[in-house]
Amino acid sequence: MTNPKEIIIDGAKYKLVEEEKKPFEIPKPEYEQRFWVILLHGDVIEDTWVSDAFDYKVLNQGNIFLTEKAAIKEQKRRAAHAKLTTLAGGWEPDWNNTTQKKYFLVYICQNKAWEIAWSWAIQYIGPVYFPTEAIGRAALEEMGDQMEDLK
């Protein structure tokens, strides 16, 4: 019988080393490193990491960006997602009802086009759901070029 902390490959024994499991930590900027943050009203500002309470609050909210370009991209994505959510009219899918179709928008990379998809039992992380295909199509039309900000 072999030791569970050993592995034998081609007759040679190797000891398995158990790595200590470390809790997940969001990577943070180095001290005095510049970063960008999206403020509550949507403005993007540049700041310097000094390990104060503000720095840790925005870090823990996933609201620190190491480039201005990344912050502006996220700012636009958030605005587009908020508009799309409004266009859904506050509709909430009933995930216990597996006969209810839940419509959402998808980007088909191969066709370079937005389409309407639906699910009745698989809940994806992130999309805005619509009660009907027609409402989803109307939202897609209303969003226009702003849909690019969601890719």
pLDDT band at 1 (very low <50, low <70, confident <90, very high): low
- Per the DSSP assignment, residues forming a β-bridge with 137 are none
The predicted structure's pLDDT at residue 13: 86
Distance of CA 53 to the CA centre of its chain: 24
The per-residue DSSP string of 21-52 comes to PPPP----PPTT-EEEEE-TTS-EEEEE----
Question: Domain limits of the chain?
Answer: 6-66, 83-150
User: What is the share, in percent, of the chain residues with pLDDT greater than 70?
Assistant: 97
pLDDT band at 18 (very low <50, low <70, confident <90, very high): confident
Q: Comparing 19-23, 32-36, 68-72, 104-108, which segment has the lowest mean pLDDT? A: 19-23
Residue 2: pLDDT over 60: no
Backbone angles phi, psi at 47, to 5 degrees: -145, 175
Pick from 69, 71, 66: nearest CA to 43: 71
pLDDT band at 17 (very low <50, low <70, confident <90, very high): confident
pLDDT band at 64 (very low <50, low <70, confident <90, very high): very high
Residue 11: pLDDT over 90: no
Residue 149: pLDDT over 70: yes
Integer Cα distance of 103 and 30 in angstroms: 43
